[in-house]
Amino acid sequence: SQQGEEDPQALSIQEGENATMNCSYKTSINNLQWYRQNSGRGLVHLILIRSNEREKHSGRLRVTLDTSKKSSSLLITASRAADTASYFCATAGGSEKLVFGKGTKLTVNP
């Protein structure tokens, strides 16, 4: 079943701007992960944040997690045209299974 809900569903920005995508979920989690998918391709793991963490950075990516609000955000700073892709959050509970959100389609215009 689908747990995560991302918003916005689609985001279009100019190169150099920051992109923020949000994800909400419904049940308790062990960790939350963000993935990227280029059109018609597989998923690439971007970053994982544990339930006891509030913020994590990786290069131009910044992820926050608010377990009280059951929400997470992914910030991409100084976006590039190559960042154009769909971004999904996925939550992991007590098992190895991941439950994916609906995704945000990001378009970065040169």
Which residues form the interface with another protein (CB under 8 A)?
2, 30-31, 33, 35, 40-45, 48, 50, 88, 92, 96-103, 105
How much helix, strand and coil, in percent to the nearest 5, is found in the chain?
A: 5, 55, 40
Q: At closest approach, how far in Å is the CB of 46 from another protein?
A: 11
Q: Which is nearer to another protein, 14 or 54 (CB)?
A: 54
Q: Which is nearer to another protein, 35 or 108 (CB)?
A: 35
Distances (CA, A) of 27 to 4, 76, 85: 10, 26, 27
Which residues make Cβ contacts (< 8 Å) with residue 16, sequence separation at least 6?
A: 78, 79
Q: At closest approach, how far in Å is the CB of 14 from another protein?
A: 23
